[in-house]
Structure 1
Amino acid sequence: MLRVMDGFYRGRRVLITGHTGFKGSWMCLLLARAGAKVLGYSLDPPSSPALFGLTRLGVDPPVGLASLHADVLDLPGLTRAVADFDPEVVIHMAAQSLVRPSYTDPAGTFAANVMGTVNLLEACRRNPPAHGQRRAIVIVTSDKCYENREWVHGYRETDRLGGHDPYSASKGCAELAAQSFARSFFDERTYATHGTVVSTVRAGNVIGGGDFATDRLVPDMARAFAKDERVHIRRPQAVRPWQHVLEPVTGYLLLARRMLEEGHRFSGPWNFGPSSRDVRTVGEVAARFAEAWGPGAELDLTRGPDQGPHEAGLLTLDCSKAHALLGWRPRLDLDAALLWCAGWYRIWAEGARSGGGDLRALCLTRIDEFFDE
């Protein structure tokens, strides 16, 4: 993975949709460290507070980062952005990214996640890279795009797509849309004409400093612990693949590099998840995060009746394809990731009370430490 930071991205044009989100903000900081020229295309941050604001990416952008306040559902606007910027790499992250809100607004979820993906691909189809150039398009979906049968083994990229809830189904649909565009307009046989390679990426449960989404385990605990409140864990027995946010975003950039270098050998779907030892129950992760937080962290792991909508009980990924073909492997184990998370949120909480704390510098330090591990 060190190949991501060895100068390859210096000066390269990278378009990121959804750059004001949690993962998008970390991607911007990572690319800033790598010296890329980044155009972010996104609506306002999806939460308040948000990592994008806390790290001043909007008001004091690092060298090479420019932002457009825009919607991926605006096809003419997205088409103009692609035409003007002529990106070499496109990372499509803009999405409605949570399961529970998809029950409240299923139509909006499908619109953002399916038509947003279609519009991004159509904008690239209408504006191929400049003559002689190549373009890598990485569509970020989710591990929930699989037809989840609660198997004990991890899902592989060749397994069936599906989805019980609107969010999961919308991600499966986005996968199918990407496959359709890849086969219809960006085929290997006509690569010399269009110069474009498309891949999709499916990550596990991502954790890290700066996630403030609701109904997500670590952010909910961090907000409560910061106020010395006790946290009730909704589904402590549910099993998920947990990983620090830098693991998948680094994988996406490594994949995009190989797509530019070697073309269609690296097209198609890819899983990016943790090692099997970091596939843990919600209760285990909650207890470890509370321990890493220290004094003031209290949990209620009593399993009472859950009146909420359906959520998967067991979901894991098989990442042997990324291991074998990309040489990608997780660098942080879960304990280290949770220590980093707890440390980040404690600094945020203390800064919120005192008015101090440079969270951008902290994120950049974590990036440097990640590559030194």
Structure 2
Amino acid sequence: MAQVDPGFWAGKRVLLTGHTGFKGAWAAIWLSRMGAKVTGLALDPDQEPSLFDLAGVSDVVDSRIADLRDPAAVEAVLGETRFDLVLHLAAQPIVRTAIEDPVGTFATNIMGTAHLLQALRAQPALQAVLVVTSDKVYANAETGRAFAEGDALGGKDPYSASKAAAEIVTASFARSYFDKAGVPVATARGGNVIGGGDFSRDRLVADIVRAARGQEQVVLRHPEATRPWQHVLDCVAGYLVHAQALATRPDAPRQLNFGPRAGGPEVTVGELATLGCEALGAQPWRHEPDPNSLEARSLAIDATLARQALGFESRLDAPDAVALTMDWYRRQADGEDARSLCVEQIEGYVARP
């Protein structure tokens, strides 16, 4: 099976957008451990506490606080350094926030991506660009069928629409500019990610952790909903392996799904919440329906192409992912250092057969 290659990343100049976010912080720590020279570009953390602050991510990357919605600010950061590889993770990632502020979400997820790609056109040493979108980019008719890369894009809520539009923007820049320059530009569509250090609003695991620490009940809107749950290390590993392939293989796919292993158990929101509450000793969750919710009840993605084209497959099933996640939160609450916990789990993941 394909592995993240430390030798590939050692010494690489990497632009990582979204390094102040949950997945971005894990990616920054992993890349820095492999010897990559990482420049982060993002807004200040939007959660309190944040993994970025708890793990001291600014100590291991060149952290630049800038707004992707401001093209001049983006160009100023990119004009200072030549980059070999770009991982674009920065986004407004919360579905309910997008419903409350659709225009702001479109500005970040669509125009922010366009501003970044436009500025990257002036980079002379680029080897590859990977734009991270979402499993929610597909037109979802709620049939329960797992979506494959060739399925139609869509989005009935603002977040999903913004990510589908980012796919189209990325493909247009690739065909119009980067293909001609010999720079592969691709998108990665990750599943619902869980892991230690996520304290975002309206994220299931973060809600469970807050409820447990406050000795309260977590409230679920759609306990029957299914999602392609994936540990953050599986997802970030997929991104890194995809970027490696883009930089070294002309046949690397330009769109890839990253999700749970094929044939793994389908886990509902309620089932995952039960596992999490039990692991943290929290009160059982309760159901409060939201009749106005636009969130999909059924969502699954087919990660077969990642296995066939890259030899990459997730290593952790949902129960293992929950156990690893809750172990991180328990130990961090008991006073262990957040970055050390991340490094320990990264090293343990790499060592898994």
One-letter identity of the residue aligned with 2:81: F
Is the 2:219–2:288 contact (alpha carbons within 8 Å) kept by the matching residues of 1? no
1:142 to 134, 158, 170: 134
Is the 1:114–1:171 contact (alpha carbons within 8 Å) kept by the matching residues of 2? yes
TM-score (norm 1): 0.91
Q: Distance in 2 between matches of 1:304 and 1:76?
A: 44
Match of 1:36 in 2: 36
One-letter identity of the residue aligned with 2:8: F
Match of 2:301 in 1: 317
2:163 to 162, 171, 188: 171
Match of 1:181 in 2: 173
Q: 1:251 to 1:11 in 2, by over 3 A?
A: same
2:68 to 67, 72, 84: 72
TM-score (norm 2): 0.96
2:238 to 251, 257, 263: 251
The secondary structure found in structure 2 opposite 1:4 is coil
1:371 paired to 2:350: yes
Is the 1:14–1:90 contact (alpha carbons within 8 Å) kept by the matching residues of 2? yes
Deviation of residue 269 (structure 1)? Answer: 1.1
2:196 to 184, 190, 209: 209
One-letter identity of the residue aligned with 2:89: M
Match of 2:283 in 1: 298
1:224 paired to 2:220: no
**Residue deviations 1:315-357, cap 9 Å, x none?**
0001111000111101112111111111111223333xxxxx2
Question: Identity rate of aligned residues, in percent?
Answer: 46
1:337 paired to 2:337: no
Deviation of residue 300 (structure 1)? Answer: 3.0
Is the 2:10–2:34 contact (alpha carbons within 8 Å) kept by the matching residues of 1? yes
Q: Distance in 1 between matches of 2:113 and 2:38?
A: 19
Compare 198-207 and 78-87 and name the one that shifted more: 78-87
Deviation of residue 292 (structure 1)? Answer: 2.1
Q: Distance in 2 between matches of 1:361 and 1:347?
A: 11
Is the 1:205–1:240 contact (alpha carbons within 8 Å) kept by the matching residues of 2? yes
Structure 2 portions without partners, runs of 5+: none
The secondary structure found in structure 2 opposite 1:163 is coil
In the TM superposition, structure 1's runs of 4+ consecutive aligned residues that sit over 3 Å from their partners are: none
**Residue deviations 1:74-122, cap 9 Å, x none?**
2122223223221111011111101001111110000000001001110
Deviation of residue 304 (structure 1)? Answer: 4.6
One-letter identity of the residue aligned with 2:256: W
The secondary structure found in structure 1 opposite 2:145 is coil
Structure 1 portions without partners, runs of 5+: 352-356
Q: Distance in 1 between matches of 2:266 and 2:67?
A: 35
The secondary structure found in structure 2 opposite 1:243 is strand
Q: Distance in 2 between matches of 1:183 and 1:283?
A: 43
1:157 paired to 2:149: yes
1:327 to 300, 307, 311: 311
Deviation of residue 308 (structure 1)? Answer: 4.2
Deviation of residue 55 (structure 1)? Answer: 0.3
Q: Distance in 2 between matches of 1:2 and 1:365?
A: 21
Aligned residues: 351
The secondary structure found in structure 2 opposite 1:236 is coil
Q: Distance in 2 between matches of 1:251 and 1:160?
A: 22
1:281 to 238, 260, 268: 268
Match of 1:200 in 2: 187
